[in-house]
Amino acid sequence: MIKNPVFIVFLTLAMAVMITAIVNKQEKSVDSLPFSSSRVEPRDLLHSTTAETSVQASVVQSPTVQAVDAVSKEIHIEHNSCFYDALVKESIAPQTVLQIARVSKEKFDLGALAPGTRLVLGWSQQKLESMRVLISGIKELHVEAKDGNWEASLIEHEVKIELTAFFGEITDTLWNSAVSAGMSFDLISDLSDIFASQVDFTRELNVGDQWAILIEKEMVGEQQVGYRNILAAEISKHGETLPAYRFEVDGRERYFDAEGQSNRGKFLKSPLRYNKITSRFQKARFHPILKTRRPHQGVDLSASTGTPVRAVGDGSIVEAGRNGGSGIMVKIRHDHRYMTAYKHLSKVASGLRSGSKIEQGQIIGYVGQTGLATGPHLHFEFYEDGRYVDPMGKRFPRRDSVDPRHRMRFQSEVKHLQELMEEFRKKGRVL
Ligand SMILES: [Zn+2]
Protein backbone atom coordinates (compact mmCIF):
# COMPACT_ATOMS: atom_id res chain seq x y z
CA MET A 1 0.00 0.00 0.00
CA ILE A 2 2.69 2.50 0.98
CA LYS A 3 4.98 2.81 -1.99
CA ASN A 4 6.67 6.11 -1.43
CA PRO A 5 10.01 5.44 0.38
CA VAL A 6 10.12 9.01 1.68
CA PHE A 7 6.82 8.40 3.40
CA ILE A 8 8.14 5.21 5.01
CA VAL A 9 11.16 7.08 6.35
CA PHE A 10 8.80 9.71 7.71
CA LEU A 11 6.66 7.05 9.36
CA THR A 12 9.68 5.44 11.00
CA LEU A 13 10.83 8.81 12.30
CA ALA A 14 7.38 9.59 13.63
CA MET A 15 7.34 6.29 15.51
CA ALA A 16 10.78 6.94 16.94
CA VAL A 17 9.56 10.32 18.21
CA MET A 18 6.54 8.67 19.78
CA ILE A 19 8.63 6.06 21.55
CA THR A 20 10.99 8.73 22.87
CA ALA A 21 7.99 10.63 24.15
CA ILE A 22 6.68 7.59 25.99
CA VAL A 23 10.07 6.92 27.56
CA ASN A 24 10.35 10.54 28.64
CA LYS A 25 6.93 10.37 30.19
CA GLN A 26 7.89 7.32 32.20
CA GLU A 27 11.04 8.99 33.40
CA LYS A 28 8.97 11.97 34.52
CA SER A 29 6.52 9.85 36.45
CA VAL A 30 9.41 8.19 38.27
CA ASP A 31 10.71 11.64 39.19
CA SER A 32 7.45 12.69 40.71
CA LEU A 33 7.21 9.81 43.16
CA PRO A 34 7.15 11.00 46.76
CA PHE A 35 10.36 9.19 47.61
CA SER A 36 12.72 10.45 44.99
CA SER A 37 16.39 10.35 45.70
CA SER A 38 17.30 14.05 45.39
CA ARG A 39 17.92 15.61 48.77
CA VAL A 40 17.83 19.11 50.14
CA GLU A 41 19.10 20.24 53.53
CA PRO A 42 16.21 20.77 55.97
CA ARG A 43 17.49 24.29 56.51
CA ASP A 44 16.59 25.13 52.90
CA LEU A 45 13.01 24.19 53.50
CA LEU A 46 12.66 26.46 56.50
CA HIS A 47 14.12 29.39 54.65
CA SER A 48 12.45 28.72 51.36
CA THR A 49 11.08 31.73 49.55
CA THR A 50 8.71 31.88 46.62
CA ALA A 51 11.59 31.49 44.23
CA GLU A 52 12.73 28.35 45.95
CA THR A 53 9.33 26.71 46.09
CA SER A 54 9.60 25.78 42.46
CA VAL A 55 11.81 22.89 43.56
CA GLN A 56 8.70 21.34 44.99
CA ALA A 57 9.64 17.80 44.10
CA SER A 58 12.72 17.80 46.33
CA VAL A 59 12.70 15.55 49.30
CA VAL A 60 13.85 16.75 52.66
CA GLN A 61 15.32 14.06 54.76
CA SER A 62 16.83 14.77 58.09
CA PRO A 63 19.89 12.55 58.75
CA THR A 64 18.88 11.97 62.38
CA VAL A 65 15.49 10.48 61.58
CA GLN A 66 16.63 8.56 58.54
CA ALA A 67 17.06 5.48 60.69
CA VAL A 68 13.34 5.21 61.42
CA ASP A 69 12.48 5.70 57.79
CA ALA A 70 11.00 9.17 58.22
CA VAL A 71 10.73 11.40 55.23
CA SER A 72 9.07 14.68 54.44
CA LYS A 73 8.15 16.35 51.22
CA GLU A 74 6.98 19.81 50.30
CA ILE A 75 4.19 20.11 47.74
CA HIS A 76 1.98 22.97 46.66
CA ILE A 77 -1.59 23.40 45.53
CA GLU A 78 -1.53 23.74 41.78
CA HIS A 79 -3.81 25.94 39.72
CA ASN A 80 -7.19 24.36 39.07
CA SER A 81 -6.44 21.82 41.77
CA CYS A 82 -7.45 21.51 45.42
CA PHE A 83 -6.31 20.07 48.73
CA TYR A 84 -8.02 16.74 48.05
CA ASP A 85 -6.42 16.27 44.61
CA ALA A 86 -3.00 17.38 45.83
CA LEU A 87 -2.93 14.71 48.57
CA VAL A 88 -4.46 11.93 46.52
CA LYS A 89 -1.75 12.63 43.94
CA GLU A 90 0.77 11.78 46.69
CA SER A 91 -0.83 8.34 47.02
CA ILE A 92 -2.61 9.21 50.26
CA ALA A 93 -5.84 7.28 50.73
CA PRO A 94 -8.98 9.34 50.01
CA GLN A 95 -10.50 8.49 53.39
CA THR A 96 -7.37 9.79 55.16
CA VAL A 97 -7.56 13.03 53.17
CA LEU A 98 -11.22 13.47 54.10
CA GLN A 99 -10.45 12.72 57.74
CA ILE A 100 -7.71 15.35 57.81
CA ALA A 101 -10.06 17.90 56.20
CA ARG A 102 -12.75 17.05 58.77
CA VAL A 103 -10.57 17.45 61.88
CA SER A 104 -9.08 20.67 60.49
CA LYS A 105 -12.41 22.25 59.59
CA GLU A 106 -12.84 24.10 62.88
CA LYS A 107 -9.37 25.68 62.66
CA PHE A 108 -9.11 26.16 58.95
CA ASP A 109 -11.09 25.20 55.86
CA LEU A 110 -8.70 23.16 53.74
CA GLY A 111 -11.22 23.23 50.89
CA ALA A 112 -10.45 26.92 50.45
CA LEU A 113 -6.68 26.71 50.01
CA ALA A 114 -5.34 29.14 47.43
CA PRO A 115 -3.24 27.86 44.52
CA GLY A 116 0.42 28.07 45.42
CA THR A 117 -0.13 27.26 49.11
CA ARG A 118 2.70 25.06 50.37
CA LEU A 119 2.19 21.88 52.34
CA VAL A 120 4.85 19.82 54.09
CA LEU A 121 3.92 16.18 54.42
CA GLY A 122 5.72 13.89 56.84
CA TRP A 123 5.81 10.11 56.59
CA SER A 124 7.08 7.57 59.06
CA GLN A 125 7.49 3.97 57.95
CA GLN A 126 5.54 4.62 54.76
CA LYS A 127 2.62 6.10 56.68
CA LEU A 128 1.52 9.73 56.59
CA GLU A 129 2.11 11.07 60.09
CA SER A 130 1.94 14.83 59.86
CA MET A 131 1.11 17.76 57.64
CA ARG A 132 1.99 21.44 57.90
CA VAL A 133 -0.01 23.87 55.80
CA LEU A 134 1.81 27.16 55.33
CA ILE A 135 -1.32 29.30 55.07
CA SER A 136 0.70 32.50 55.13
CA GLY A 137 4.08 33.53 56.44
CA ILE A 138 2.30 34.14 59.73
CA LYS A 139 -0.20 31.29 60.01
CA GLU A 140 0.40 27.55 59.87
CA LEU A 141 -1.94 24.64 60.31
CA HIS A 142 -0.40 21.53 61.88
CA VAL A 143 -2.17 18.20 61.57
CA GLU A 144 -0.72 15.15 63.29
CA ALA A 145 -1.65 11.51 63.70
CA LYS A 146 -1.83 10.59 67.37
CA ASP A 147 -2.74 7.05 68.36
CA GLY A 148 -4.64 6.50 65.16
CA ASN A 149 -6.50 9.82 65.37
CA TRP A 150 -5.76 13.07 63.55
CA GLU A 151 -5.41 16.29 65.50
CA ALA A 152 -5.23 19.80 64.11
CA SER A 153 -3.81 22.96 65.60
CA LEU A 154 -3.44 26.46 64.23
CA ILE A 155 -0.16 28.22 64.92
CA GLU A 156 0.19 31.94 64.62
CA HIS A 157 3.70 33.34 64.65
CA GLU A 158 4.43 36.63 66.29
CA VAL A 159 5.09 39.34 63.70
CA LYS A 160 7.62 42.06 64.28
CA ILE A 161 7.70 45.17 62.11
CA GLU A 162 11.05 46.40 60.84
CA LEU A 163 11.83 49.15 58.39
CA THR A 164 13.56 48.85 55.07
CA ALA A 165 14.06 51.02 52.02
CA PHE A 166 14.43 50.59 48.30
CA PHE A 167 16.11 53.05 45.96
CA GLY A 168 16.66 53.11 42.26
CA GLU A 169 17.37 55.03 39.12
CA ILE A 170 15.55 54.41 35.88
CA THR A 171 17.78 52.99 33.18
CA ASP A 172 15.02 51.74 30.87
CA THR A 173 11.72 51.45 32.72
CA LEU A 174 10.75 52.14 36.31
CA TRP A 175 9.40 48.60 36.43
CA ASN A 176 12.75 47.03 35.59
CA SER A 177 14.69 49.25 37.94
CA ALA A 178 12.29 48.46 40.79
CA VAL A 179 12.41 44.72 40.10
CA SER A 180 16.19 44.74 40.08
CA ALA A 181 16.18 46.65 43.37
CA GLY A 182 14.26 43.71 44.84
CA MET A 183 10.74 45.13 44.88
CA SER A 184 7.80 42.76 44.47
CA PHE A 185 5.27 43.38 41.68
CA ASP A 186 2.56 44.38 44.17
CA LEU A 187 4.88 46.83 45.83
CA ILE A 188 5.67 48.58 42.54
CA SER A 189 1.97 48.96 41.77
CA ASP A 190 1.40 50.27 45.31
CA LEU A 191 4.16 52.83 44.77
CA SER A 192 2.54 53.93 41.50
CA ASP A 193 -0.83 54.31 43.27
CA ILE A 194 0.61 56.89 45.66
CA PHE A 195 1.63 59.13 42.75
CA ALA A 196 -1.22 58.20 40.39
CA SER A 197 -2.44 61.81 40.21
CA GLN A 198 1.01 63.26 39.67
CA VAL A 199 2.80 60.86 37.37
CA ASP A 200 1.72 58.91 34.32
CA PHE A 201 4.05 55.98 34.96
CA THR A 202 4.03 54.70 31.39
CA ARG A 203 4.56 58.04 29.67
CA GLU A 204 6.11 60.63 31.94
CA LEU A 205 9.22 59.01 33.43
CA ASN A 206 12.61 59.17 31.78
CA VAL A 207 16.00 57.53 32.01
CA GLY A 208 17.82 59.07 34.97
CA ASP A 209 14.68 59.69 37.02
CA GLN A 210 15.03 58.36 40.56
CA TRP A 211 12.70 56.84 43.08
CA ALA A 212 12.81 55.69 46.71
CA ILE A 213 10.51 54.11 49.25
CA LEU A 214 10.63 53.56 52.98
CA ILE A 215 8.50 50.62 53.99
CA GLU A 216 7.53 48.41 56.92
CA LYS A 217 8.37 44.76 56.57
CA GLU A 218 6.82 41.93 58.55
CA MET A 219 9.29 39.59 60.22
CA VAL A 220 8.72 36.20 61.80
CA GLY A 221 11.95 35.41 63.56
CA GLU A 222 14.70 36.14 61.10
CA GLN A 223 12.50 35.59 58.09
CA GLN A 224 10.63 38.26 56.20
CA VAL A 225 7.06 37.21 55.51
CA GLY A 226 5.57 40.30 53.88
CA TYR A 227 5.29 44.04 53.70
CA ARG A 228 2.95 46.38 55.46
CA ASN A 229 2.78 50.13 54.86
CA ILE A 230 4.80 52.38 52.61
CA LEU A 231 5.72 55.16 55.06
CA ALA A 232 7.40 57.50 52.62
CA ALA A 233 8.15 57.59 48.93
CA GLU A 234 9.88 59.82 46.41
CA ILE A 235 9.91 59.96 42.68
CA SER A 236 11.67 62.42 40.41
CA LYS A 237 10.19 63.59 37.15
CA HIS A 238 12.18 65.87 34.85
CA GLY A 239 14.49 66.72 37.77
CA GLU A 240 11.65 67.65 40.11
CA THR A 241 11.35 65.45 43.21
CA LEU A 242 7.85 64.55 44.33
CA PRO A 243 7.70 63.33 47.94
CA ALA A 244 4.91 61.48 49.74
CA TYR A 245 4.56 60.89 53.48
CA ARG A 246 2.01 58.64 55.06
CA PHE A 247 -0.03 60.41 57.68
CA GLU A 248 -3.00 59.28 59.69
CA VAL A 249 -5.92 61.56 60.42
CA ASP A 250 -9.04 60.28 62.20
CA GLY A 251 -8.04 56.66 61.57
CA ARG A 252 -7.55 57.19 57.84
CA GLU A 253 -4.12 56.99 56.21
CA ARG A 254 -3.27 59.20 53.27
CA TYR A 255 -0.17 60.55 51.58
CA PHE A 256 0.90 64.19 51.63
CA ASP A 257 3.90 66.15 50.40
CA ALA A 258 6.18 67.95 52.87
CA GLU A 259 3.91 71.01 52.79
CA GLY A 260 0.91 68.92 53.75
CA GLN A 261 -0.76 68.91 50.31
CA SER A 262 -2.43 65.62 49.42
CA ASN A 263 -0.74 63.49 46.75
CA ARG A 264 -4.16 62.59 45.44
CA GLY A 265 -5.51 65.07 42.91
CA LYS A 266 -8.82 65.67 41.21
CA PHE A 267 -7.79 63.23 38.45
CA LEU A 268 -5.56 60.21 37.98
CA LYS A 269 -2.99 60.65 35.22
CA SER A 270 -3.85 57.36 33.56
CA PRO A 271 -6.96 55.17 33.44
CA LEU A 272 -4.69 52.09 33.54
CA ARG A 273 -2.99 50.95 36.76
CA TYR A 274 0.77 50.55 36.45
CA ASN A 275 1.58 46.84 36.60
CA LYS A 276 3.68 44.21 34.88
CA ILE A 277 1.53 44.28 31.74
CA THR A 278 0.99 48.02 31.31
CA SER A 279 4.62 48.74 32.21
CA ARG A 280 5.64 46.98 29.00
CA PHE A 281 4.14 49.78 26.96
CA GLN A 282 6.39 52.65 27.74
CA LYS A 283 6.41 55.82 25.67
CA ALA A 284 8.94 54.59 23.16
CA ARG A 285 6.65 51.75 22.20
CA PHE A 286 3.59 53.88 21.77
CA HIS A 287 1.32 52.63 19.18
CA PRO A 288 -1.03 55.22 17.71
CA ILE A 289 -3.37 53.14 15.63
CA LEU A 290 -5.46 55.69 13.82
CA LYS A 291 -3.11 58.65 13.85
CA THR A 292 -2.37 58.52 10.15
CA ARG A 293 -5.94 57.95 9.09
CA ARG A 294 -7.79 60.86 10.63
CA PRO A 295 -7.27 63.72 13.03
CA HIS A 296 -6.65 61.97 16.29
CA GLN A 297 -8.05 63.25 19.52
CA GLY A 298 -7.06 61.31 22.55
CA VAL A 299 -4.35 59.04 23.79
CA ASP A 300 -3.95 55.46 22.64
CA LEU A 301 -2.78 53.31 25.53
CA SER A 302 -1.62 49.87 24.48
CA ALA A 303 -2.75 47.16 26.83
CA SER A 304 -3.97 43.62 26.53
CA THR A 305 -7.64 42.76 26.25
CA GLY A 306 -9.29 42.52 29.64
CA THR A 307 -7.02 45.04 31.42
CA PRO A 308 -9.25 46.92 33.89
CA VAL A 309 -9.96 50.56 33.02
CA ARG A 310 -10.36 53.03 35.90
CA ALA A 311 -12.34 56.26 35.99
CA VAL A 312 -9.76 59.02 36.41
CA GLY A 313 -12.06 61.12 38.57
CA ASP A 314 -15.39 61.24 40.41
CA GLY A 315 -18.42 61.87 38.24
CA SER A 316 -21.39 60.29 36.56
CA ILE A 317 -21.71 58.29 33.37
CA VAL A 318 -23.35 60.12 30.48
CA GLU A 319 -22.95 57.32 27.96
CA ALA A 320 -22.19 53.59 28.24
CA GLY A 321 -22.46 51.13 25.38
CA ARG A 322 -21.72 50.68 21.70
CA ASN A 323 -21.17 53.75 19.53
CA GLY A 324 -19.98 53.20 15.91
CA GLY A 325 -16.22 53.49 15.38
CA SER A 326 -15.65 54.07 19.10
CA GLY A 327 -16.88 50.56 19.79
CA ILE A 328 -17.99 49.89 23.35
CA MET A 329 -17.33 53.07 25.28
CA VAL A 330 -17.96 54.91 28.53
CA LYS A 331 -18.19 58.68 28.82
CA ILE A 332 -18.05 60.37 32.21
CA ARG A 333 -18.94 63.94 33.18
CA HIS A 334 -16.85 65.03 36.15
CA ASP A 335 -18.18 68.55 36.58
CA HIS A 336 -19.17 71.49 34.41
CA ARG A 337 -15.61 71.71 32.98
CA TYR A 338 -14.29 68.18 32.65
CA MET A 339 -15.35 65.06 30.76
CA THR A 340 -13.51 61.84 29.93
CA ALA A 341 -14.20 59.04 27.44
CA TYR A 342 -12.85 55.48 27.30
CA LYS A 343 -13.22 53.68 23.95
CA HIS A 344 -12.77 50.30 22.18
CA LEU A 345 -13.61 48.48 25.43
CA SER A 346 -14.28 44.75 25.41
CA LYS A 347 -17.08 45.38 27.91
CA VAL A 348 -18.50 47.86 30.35
CA ALA A 349 -18.20 46.93 34.05
CA SER A 350 -21.33 45.14 35.16
CA GLY A 351 -24.13 47.23 36.58
CA LEU A 352 -22.92 50.51 35.07
CA ARG A 353 -25.18 52.54 32.81
CA SER A 354 -25.95 56.09 31.86
CA GLY A 355 -26.58 58.02 35.07
CA SER A 356 -24.43 55.77 37.32
CA LYS A 357 -22.35 57.64 39.91
CA ILE A 358 -18.64 56.89 39.62
CA GLU A 359 -15.76 57.33 42.04
CA GLN A 360 -12.15 58.04 41.13
CA GLY A 361 -10.29 54.77 40.56
CA GLN A 362 -13.48 52.73 40.11
CA ILE A 363 -13.26 50.10 37.36
CA ILE A 364 -15.67 51.14 34.60
CA GLY A 365 -14.77 48.60 31.91
CA TYR A 366 -12.07 46.46 30.31
CA VAL A 367 -9.67 47.05 27.42
CA GLY A 368 -10.70 45.55 24.09
CA GLN A 369 -10.64 46.34 20.38
CA THR A 370 -14.28 47.00 19.55
CA GLY A 371 -15.13 49.56 16.84
CA LEU A 372 -12.42 51.03 14.66
CA ALA A 373 -9.38 49.45 16.27
CA THR A 374 -6.81 47.16 14.69
CA GLY A 375 -5.49 45.84 17.99
CA PRO A 376 -6.39 45.86 21.67
CA HIS A 377 -5.82 49.31 23.18
CA LEU A 378 -7.59 51.94 25.19
CA HIS A 379 -8.44 55.17 23.44
CA PHE A 380 -8.69 57.74 26.22
CA GLU A 381 -10.08 61.26 25.77
CA PHE A 382 -9.83 64.04 28.28
CA TYR A 383 -11.91 67.20 27.75
CA GLU A 384 -11.59 70.57 29.42
CA ASP A 385 -14.32 73.06 28.53
CA GLY A 386 -15.23 70.89 25.56
CA ARG A 387 -11.67 70.90 24.13
CA TYR A 388 -9.42 67.86 24.05
CA VAL A 389 -6.28 68.08 26.20
CA ASP A 390 -3.61 65.49 26.92
CA PRO A 391 -3.61 65.01 30.70
CA MET A 392 0.06 63.99 30.55
CA GLY A 393 1.61 67.42 31.01
CA LYS A 394 -1.20 68.74 33.20
CA ARG A 395 -1.18 69.57 36.89
CA PHE A 396 -4.49 69.03 38.57
CA PRO A 397 -5.78 70.62 41.77
CA ARG A 398 -5.01 68.55 44.87
CA ARG A 399 -7.90 66.99 46.69
CA ASP A 400 -7.14 68.15 50.21
CA SER A 401 -4.43 69.03 52.68
CA VAL A 402 -3.50 68.36 56.29
CA ASP A 403 -5.89 70.12 58.62
CA PRO A 404 -4.17 72.95 60.56
CA ARG A 405 -5.17 71.19 63.78
CA HIS A 406 -2.77 68.34 62.91
CA ARG A 407 0.05 70.47 61.48
CA MET A 408 2.43 70.09 64.42
CA ARG A 409 2.16 66.31 64.52
CA PHE A 410 2.42 66.13 60.74
CA GLN A 411 5.60 68.19 60.62
CA SER A 412 7.37 66.19 63.30
CA GLU A 413 6.38 62.89 61.62
CA VAL A 414 7.63 64.12 58.24
CA LYS A 415 10.92 65.16 59.80
CA HIS A 416 11.29 61.73 61.37
CA LEU A 417 10.54 59.96 58.07
CA GLN A 418 13.01 62.16 56.22
CA GLU A 419 15.70 61.28 58.75
CA LEU A 420 14.98 57.58 58.42
CA MET A 421 15.12 57.79 54.64
CA GLU A 422 18.44 59.65 54.88
CA GLU A 423 19.84 56.97 57.20
CA PHE A 424 19.02 54.23 54.69
CA ARG A 425 20.49 56.31 51.90
CA LYS A 426 23.74 56.68 53.87
CA LYS A 427 23.88 52.97 54.51
CA GLY A 428 24.28 52.71 50.78
CA ARG A 429 21.22 50.70 50.05
CA VAL A 430 21.25 52.03 46.51
CA LEU A 431 21.19 49.13 44.12
ZN1 LIG B 1 -7.11 56.24 19.43
pLDDT(46) > 50? no
Residue 354 CA to ligand 1 center (angstroms) comes to 23
CA of 349 relative to ligand 1 center, distance in Å? 21
pLDDT per residue as tens digits for the range 151-206? 999 999 999 999 999 999 998 888 999 999 889 999 999 999 999 999 988 888 88
Q: Ligand 1 centre and the CA of 122: distance in Å?
A: 58
pLDDT digits (tens, 9 = 90+) for 116-136: 999 999 998 888 999 999 998
Confidence of residue 68 (pLDDT cuts 50, 70, 90): low
39-156: which CATH topology? Nuclear Transport Factor 2; Chain: A, (3.10.450)
pLDDT at 431 over 70: no
Q: What is the pLDDT of residues 201-235, one digit of tens each?
A: 888 888 899 999 999 999 998 888 889 999 999 99
What spacing in Å lies between the alpha carbon of 269 and ligand 1's midpoint? 17
* Cα(273) to centroid(ligand 1), Å: 19
CA of 291 to the centre of ligand 1 (A): 7
- Residue 350 Cα to ligand 1 midpoint, Å, equals 24
Q: Is 103 exposed, middle or buried (0-12, 13-18, 19+ CB in 10 A)?
A: middle
| CA 101–ligand 1 middle distance (angstroms) | 53
Range from 179-188, 281-290, 421-430 carrying the lowest mean pLDDT: 281-290
pLDDT digits (tens, 9 = 90+) for 387-401: 988 887 788 888 889
Distance 233 CA to ligand 1 centre (A): 33
- Whether the pLDDT of residue 32 is over 50: the answer is no
Q: Mean pLDDT across the stretch 87-106?
A: 92
Predicted local confidence at residue 276, as pLDDT: 80
Helix (H), strand (E) counts: the chain? 7, 21
How far, in Å, from the CA of 378 to the mean position of ligand 1? Answer: 7
Report DSSP state, residue 314.
S
What are the domain boundaries of the chain? 39-156, 160-265+400-426, 278-393
Count of C-beta atoms within a 10 Å radius of residue 423 = 13
CA 247, CA 260: separation in Å to the nearest integer?
9
Residue 301 Cα to ligand 1 midpoint, Å, equals 8
pLDDT value, residue 8: 46
CA 289 to ligand 1 center in whole angstroms: 6
Other beta carbons within 10 Å of 34: 18
pLDDT at 302: 85
Per the prediction, the chain carries an average pLDDT of 81
pTM of the model: 0.70
Q: Ligand 1 centroid to 314 CA: how many Å?
A: 23
Q: Which CATH class is domain 160-265+400-426?
A: alpha beta
- The beta strands (E) that lie in 281-396 are given as 299-302, 308-310, 315-322, 328-333, 338-348, 357-358, 363-367, 377-384, 387-388
Contact predicate 286/303, CB 8 Å:
no
Cα-to-centroid distance, 344 and ligand 1 (Å): 9
Q: How many angstroms does the Cα of residue 401 sit away from the middle of ligand 1?
A: 36
Does pLDDT of 92 surpass 70? yes
116 three-class SS: coil
- pLDDT of 42 > 50? The answer is no
- Of the candidates 236, 76, 77, the one whose C-alpha atom is nearest the C-alpha of residue 170 is 236
Same fold, 39-156 and 160-265+400-426: yes
65 — pLDDT class (breaks 50, 70, 90): very low
Say yes or no to pLDDT of 62 above 50.
Answer: no
Average the pLDDT over each of 40-44, 92-96, 155-159, 374-378 and give the range with the smallest value: 40-44
Q: Which residues place a Cβ less than 5 A from the ion ligand 1?
A: 300, 379
Kindly report the CATH number that applies to the domain delimited by 278-393: 2.70.70.10
